[in-house]
């Protein structure tokens, strides 16, 4: 509770406890010294801008911000805060200005008195005979309530102890008895309670109206919340569909890759088999040649003659040429094994992506194409989902921009009928 009280009595400008809180017409309150600083910084003397809502207000005709209404409620809260914190930090005596944790509060003077001599002095004054001064340590809940309910007092100099009793209709201000007989003599005045009762009726009506508006806004906020929720759900669905499609593409690409690898491996195996056969044959021929050479060196004349006839059958020029050509073809076939990229597929994916999401609207009617300046044009806008099917969601918002050929807005009065379909 004490934290909430601190927040209520803290100025939003200086971030410290209020000193001489003044209220602007927009009902926001600030320290007098903070408002003076804002006015000086603005470079103007007739207008002050609220630091909270940025609304501009006129400076009092006197030119002094001190004449702005005092926020008595904050002053009462400041007294309550001081009483609650007295046992730790003490309060400043309204007479000797010394801080003390042993103090009294006078409900009539609206001031603190230290226990030393000042409270005795206060109680000894004949005019204060009916005043109630209570020790801060003895405060109960009802005493705090009395502090919060204490009446407002006049702001005029030397009238600080005079309770506000009347409302001047001419000056539109609450005044005390002395003001009624002096500065406001001859003015149309009514009792303050009567003026307050009339204001209560107006304020009550205003609050009821604002509550209705607030409820409508809360309903709108709920609709916006539901709209955000639906958009998130739709976006999640689109993501899942895109993910599913991408995974299907990955699966298909993986299958095509495996198919390409299989073809390549088959071609590789067949080519190698052919080469190995050629290799075996060539090795056999080389070995045969080596054997023939050895046999030639070791043979007699009769054997050499016989060997010569055998060589004619073994080494025929045409056969050797064909074998050499077969080997060359096999080698050339291996060198042609290269991967050719499908650049068209890559370019298409880069330019078009793996897919897209769409929202569909269709507009129909003569108001789309047959229009005459100055006459009403009618058309119907239908909402559709991504499959092109007509759909309707209460939280959906549709923006329609009507322009002429130059791109300038050309709609005047617009009537919208929601068919809820």
What pLDDT is recorded for position 18? 92
**Rounded Cα distance, 189 and 30, in Å:** 30
Residues 168 and 242 occupy one common structural domain: no
- Contact (Cβ atoms closer than 8 angstroms) between residue 103 and residue 90: yes
User: Is 198 in a helix, a strand, or coil?
Assistant: helix
Residues 50 and 144 occupy one common structural domain: yes
User: Token pair of 405, please?
Assistant: 């050929």
Residues 223 and 139 occupy one common structural domain: no
Residues 319 and 215 occupy one common structural domain: yes
List CB contacts of 135: < 8 A, sequence separation 6 or more.
102, 103, 104, 115
User: Where are any strands of DSSP class E within 59-126?
Assistant: 91-92, 99-100, 103-106, 111-114
| Residue-wise pLDDT tens digits, 39-94 | 999 888 889 999 999 999 999 888 889 888 888 889 888 888 888 888 778 888 88
**Rounded Cα distance, 207 and 198, in Å:** 14
- Its pTM stands at 0.47
Residues 131 and 35 occupy one common structural domain: yes
Q: Is residue 190 domain-resident?
A: no
Long-range contacts of residues 74-77, Cβ cutoff 8 Å, at least 24 apart: 74/8, 74/9, 74/18, 74/21, 74/29, 75/21, 76/147, 76/148, 76/150, 77/5, 77/8, 77/9, 77/148
Residues 342 and 365 occupy one common structural domain: no
* DSSP count for the chain of H helices, then E strands: 11, 14
Q: Is residue 187 domain-resident?
A: no
Q: Is residue 302 domain-resident?
A: yes
* Secondary-structure breakdown of the chain: helix, strand, coil percentages, each rounded to the nearest 5: 50, 15, 35
- Domain CATH code at residue 104: 3.30.40.10
- Pick from 352, 370, 394: which residue ends a domain? 352
Provide the domain count of the chain. 3
Q: Is residue 324 domain-resident?
A: yes
Q: Is residue 232 domain-resident?
A: yes
Q: What are the beta bridge partners of residue 270?
A: none
List CB contacts of 361: < 8 A, sequence separation 6 or more.
381, 382, 383, 384, 398
List of the chain residues with pLDDT < 70: 1-3, 306-336, 356-361, 386
Judged on CB neighbours under 10 Å (0-12, 13-18, 19+), 79 is buried
Instruction: Describe the crossing of helices 301-314 and 192-298 by its angle, rounded to 10 degrees.
Output: 150
Q: Is residue 194 domain-resident?
A: no
What pLDDT is recorded for position 317? 46
Q: Is residue 188 domain-resident?
A: no
- Pick from 333, 352, 371: which residue ends a domain? 352
Q: Containing domain of residue 97, as a range?
A: 2-181
Judged on CB neighbours under 10 Å (0-12, 13-18, 19+), 145 is exposed
Residues 74 and 137 occupy one common structural domain: yes
**Rounded Cα distance, 378 and 9, in Å:** 58
Q: Is residue 274 domain-resident?
A: yes
- Pick from 319, 352, 385: which residue ends a domain? 352
Residues 149 and 283 occupy one common structural domain: no
What pLDDT is recorded for position 318? 43
Residues 378 and 311 occupy one common structural domain: no
| Residue-wise pLDDT tens digits, 340-381 | 888 888 888 888 777 766 666 678 888 877 787 778 888 998
List CB contacts of 189: < 8 A, sequence separation 6 or more.
166, 167, 168, 169, 175, 180
Residues 175 and 234 occupy one common structural domain: no
Residues 77 and 48 occupy one common structural domain: yes
Residues 12 and 153 occupy one common structural domain: yes
Alpha-carbon torsion 131, 132, 136, 137, what sign? positive
């Amino acid at each position: 509770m004490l934290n909430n009280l601190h927040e209520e009595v803290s100025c939003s400008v200086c971030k410290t406890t209020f000193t001489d809180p003044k209220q602007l017409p927009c009902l926001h309150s600030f320290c007098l010294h903070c408002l003076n600083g804002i006015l000086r910084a603005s470079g103007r003397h007739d207008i002050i801008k609220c630091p909270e809502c940025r609304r501009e207000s006129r400076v009092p005709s006197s030119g002094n911000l001190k004449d702005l209404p005092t926020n008595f409620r904050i002053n009462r809260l400041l007294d309550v805060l001081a009483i609650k914190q007295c046992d730790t930090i003490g309060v400043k005596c309204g007479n000797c200005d010394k801080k003390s944790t042993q103090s009294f509060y006078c409900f009539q003077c609206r001031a603190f008195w230290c226990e030393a001599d000042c409270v005795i002095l206060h109680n000894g004054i004949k005019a204060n005979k009916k005043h109630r001064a209570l020790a801060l340590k003895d405060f109960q809940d009802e005493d705090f309530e009395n502090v919060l309910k204490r009446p407002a007092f006049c702001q005029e100099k030397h009238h600080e102890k005079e309770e506000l009793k009347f409302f001047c209709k001419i000056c539109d201000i609450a005044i005390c008895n002395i003001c009624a007989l002096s500065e406001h003599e001859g003015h149309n005045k009514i009792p303050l309670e009567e003026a307050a009762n009339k204001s209560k009726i107006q304020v009550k009506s205003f609050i009821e109206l604002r509550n209705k508006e607030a409820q409508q806004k809360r309903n709108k906020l709920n609709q916006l919340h539901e709209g955000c929720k639906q958009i998130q759900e739709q976006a999640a669905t689109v993501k899942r569909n895109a993910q599913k499609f991408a995974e299907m593409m990955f699966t298909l690409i993986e299958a095509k890759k495996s198919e390409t690898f299989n073809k390549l491996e088959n071609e590789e195996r067949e080519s190698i088999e052919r080469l190995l056969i050629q290799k075996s044959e060539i090795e056999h021929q080389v070995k045969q040649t080596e054997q023939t050479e050895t046999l030639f060196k070791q043979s007699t004349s009769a054997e050499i003659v016989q060997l010569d006839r055998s060589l004619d059958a073994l080494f025929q020029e045409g056969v050797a040429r064909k074998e050499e050509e077969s080997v060359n073809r096999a080698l050339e076939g291996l060198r042609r094994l290269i991967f050719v990229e499908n650049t068209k597929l890559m370019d298409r994916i880069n330019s078009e992506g793996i897919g897209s999401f769409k929202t569909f609207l269709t507009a129909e009617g003569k108001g789309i194409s047959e229009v005459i300046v100055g006459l009403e044009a009618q058309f119907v806008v239908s909402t559709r989902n991504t499959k092109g099917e007509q759909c309707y969601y209460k939280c959906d918002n549709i923006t329609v921009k009507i322009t002429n050929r130059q791109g300038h807005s050309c709609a005047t009065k617009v009537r919208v009928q929601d068919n809820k379909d």
